[in-house]
Amino acid sequence: MKDFISMVDADRLFIENIISLSSFLKEKQKKGELYRPLEGFTAALIFEKPSTRTRVSFEVGVYQLGGHGIYMDNRSSQLGRGEPIKDTARVLSRYVNLIVIRTFGQERVEELAKYSDVPVINALTDEEHPCQVLADIFTIWEYKRNLKGLKVAYVGDGNNMCNSWLIGAAYTGMKFYAATPKGFEPLIEYVEKAKEIAKDTGAEIVITNNPIEAVKEADIIYTDVWASMGQEDEAEKRKEIFMPYQVNRELVKHAKSDFLFMHCLPAHRGEEVTNEIIESDRSIVWDQAENRLHTQKALILKLVRKVNL
């Protein structure tokens, strides 16, 4: 694998390797042991969308591995002045060892990867958020030590998170139930791909409009904001539509008593989740956020150095 631009690029073995390598790297950091196999390594970090966790985790991760990250936004690069992304790809490939991009259309990442001679990582598009799902799966593994057969209830908007989660759950043999309002389901091509993968892995993929059906006996309850970046004008309308999908005390009663709550952050407390739930002892969102660092370091090593554990 040269690039990681979609969860579809992964498979079961790839995810298992990322889990093992992430665990190794996390343990090294906990012990305060330096592990810097990428001395002299440079990564271009192209951010056309604002970010907290993604930017900081990638910058810190590259630094901790011994490399140097160069942050580029539309104000500090020619992309903001209309340079074709394929030209940027060709030039950066001659300067850096890796390109990380957080942007709008999935097609921009695909074109960047097509014309780049170095690995490209999708750090988020409107269609997918695969790096987040790698961290999520690793976090669940830390708590459960097993993935196959676990039930994940995704409640809310069938957005980029849901699309990537469909594929990640299918590869790992989980039961993935996505509950969304009518008209807000995940993209059909991701649903179909997940169901195709599930034939080989034993995963269960269910799309429903009933949040209680999704959450019933769930091991994991997952949600995301109701209005993503670029949808701010729809925020008030979406609140009305999505309120029955709020993760609150009443909804979680239908899950297993030891369910875990996850959110990719930032969270709008009082909208997709109540403060009571996100601050409860069932919430693992802070471990989930931390693990972005470890899984992204693992991903970089796997793409650049072909490291396996």
Catalytic option among 162, 264, 288, 296: 264
Q: Is 231 a catalytic residue?
A: no
Check: CB of residue 176 under 8 Å from CB of residue 133.
no
Residue 54 known to bind ligand = yes
Q: Is 292 a catalytic residue?
A: yes
- Could you tell me the two tokens for 221? 């309850």
Q: Is 94 a catalytic residue?
A: no
Residue 72 known to bind ligand = no
Mean pLDDT of 3-25: 98
Q: Is 254 a catalytic residue?
A: no
Q: How many CB atoms lie within 10 A of CB 261?
A: 22
List all residues 6 or more positions away from 45 whose beta carbon is below 8 Å from its beta carbon. Answer: 55, 58, 59, 62, 69, 70, 71, 72, 100, 123
CA triple 256-148-152, angle to 5 deg: 40
Catalytic option among 64, 132, 246, 288: 132
Mean pLDDT of 34-59: 96
Catalytic option among 3, 64, 102, 238: 102
Instruction: Determine the pLDDT at residue 80.
Output: 66
Compute the distance between CA of residue 46 and CA of residue 55 in angstroms, rounded to an integer: 9
Instruction: Determine the pLDDT at residue 82.
Output: 79
**Average pLDDT across the chain, whole number:** 96
Q: Which one-letter amino acid corresponds to residue 288?
A: Q
Instruction: Determine the pLDDT at residue 286.
Output: 98
Catalytic option among 136, 157, 219, 224: 224
Q: Which one-letter amino acid corresponds to residue 250?
A: E
Mean pLDDT of 279-300: 98
Give kind and range of the element (H or E) at residue 228. none
Residue 78 known to bind ligand = yes
Residue 229 known to bind ligand = yes
Residue 132 known to bind ligand = yes
Mean pLDDT of 279-299: 98
pLDDT tens track for 97-149: 999 999 999 999 999 999 999 999 999 999 999 999 999 999 999 999 999 99
Residues of the chain with CATH 3.40.50.1370: 7-129+289-305, 132-285
- Could you tell me the two tokens for 13? 């073995």
Compute the distance between CA of residue 275 and CA of residue 68 in angstroms, rounded to an integer: 38
Stretch among 77-81, 160-164, 252-256 having the lowest mean pLDDT: 77-81
Residue 131 known to bind ligand = yes
Instruction: Determine the pLDDT at residue 234.
Output: 82
Instruction: Determine the pLDDT at residue 229.
Output: 66
Residue 224 known to bind ligand = yes
Residue 199 has pLDDT above 90, yes or no: yes
Residue 246 known to bind ligand = no
Catalytic option among 108, 129, 238, 263: 129
Instruction: Determine the pLDDT at residue 45.
Output: 97
Mean pLDDT of 292-301: 98
pLDDT tens track for 54-106: 999 999 999 999 999 999 987 777 776 778 999 999 999 999 999 999 999 99
| For helices 85-92 and 106-115, angle between their N-to-C axes, nearest 10 degrees | 40
Residue 108 known to bind ligand = no
Q: How many CB atoms lie within 10 A of CB 158?
A: 23
Asked whether the CA dihedral 11, 267, 60, 101 is positive or negative, the reply is: positive
Residue 235 has pLDDT above 90, yes or no: no
Catalytic option among 55, 238, 292, 294: 292
Q: Is 162 a catalytic residue?
A: no
Percent of the chain with pLDDT over 90: 91
- Could you tell me the two tokens for 163? 């699309």
Residue 106 known to bind ligand = no
Pick the CATH number of 132-285 from 3.90.1150.10, 3.10.450.50, 2.20.25.90, 3.40.50.1370: 3.40.50.1370
Q: Is 258 a catalytic residue?
A: no
Name the residue with higher pLDDT: 251 or 82.
251
Sheet hosting strand 68-72, strand order edge to edge? 68-72, 42-47, 98-102, 120-124
Mean pLDDT of 141-159: 98
Domain 7-129+289-305 is in which class?
A: alpha beta
List all residues 6 or more positions away from 156 whose beta carbon is below 8 Å from its beta carbon. Answer: 162, 179, 180, 223, 224, 225, 226, 242, 245, 272
Instruction: Determine the pLDDT at residue 113.
Output: 98
